[in-house]
Amino acid sequence: MNDARAHLHVSGLVQGVGYRYFAIRKANTFGIRGFARNLVDGGVEVVAEGERGLIQEFISELRRGPISAHVTDIRIDWENPTFEFEGFQGL
């Protein structure tokens, strides 16, 4: 298995529009572990662990977001997986 970890900073209109719940639903679809949480700068932080190809598909979905969101940028830092997560949570 080609496990990876992506640490994401999502910018745009992504708070108060169901973006974290969208991320949780999509992460569960792809079997991604990690979390999504709001940041004080108005963005959303996402940490995703799983198979690299599935994480890339997950990121493609995050670029679209729910219909009420408007994603302007996603900064991605690829890291080594830590295997610390059991599932995917909204924090």
Please report how many Cα atoms fall inside a 13 Å half-sphere around the Cα of residue 13, on the Cβ side: 6
Give me the number of domains the chain comprises.
Answer: 1
- The CATH number covering residue 15 comes to 3.30.70.100
Set 38, 63, 64, 80: catalytic member = 38
Set 2, 5, 20, 63: catalytic member = 20
Q: What is the pLDDT of residue 70?
A: 97
CA distances from 38 to 10, 18, 20, 51 (A): 10, 11, 8, 24
Residue 91 lies in a domain: no
| Residue 28 annotated among the catalytic residues of the structure | no
Global pTM reads 0.94
Q: What is the pLDDT of residue 87?
A: 95
- By residue range, what is the domain housing residue 13? 3-84
| Residue 38 annotated among the catalytic residues of the structure | yes
Residue 36 lies in a domain: yes
Residue 90 lies in a domain: no
For residue 1, what pLDDT band results from cuts at 50, 70 and 90?
A: low
The string of pLDDT tens digits covering residues 27-81 is 999 999 999 999 999 999 999 999 999 999 999 999 999 999 999 999 999 999 9
Which H/E stretch holds residue 70?
A: strand 70-79
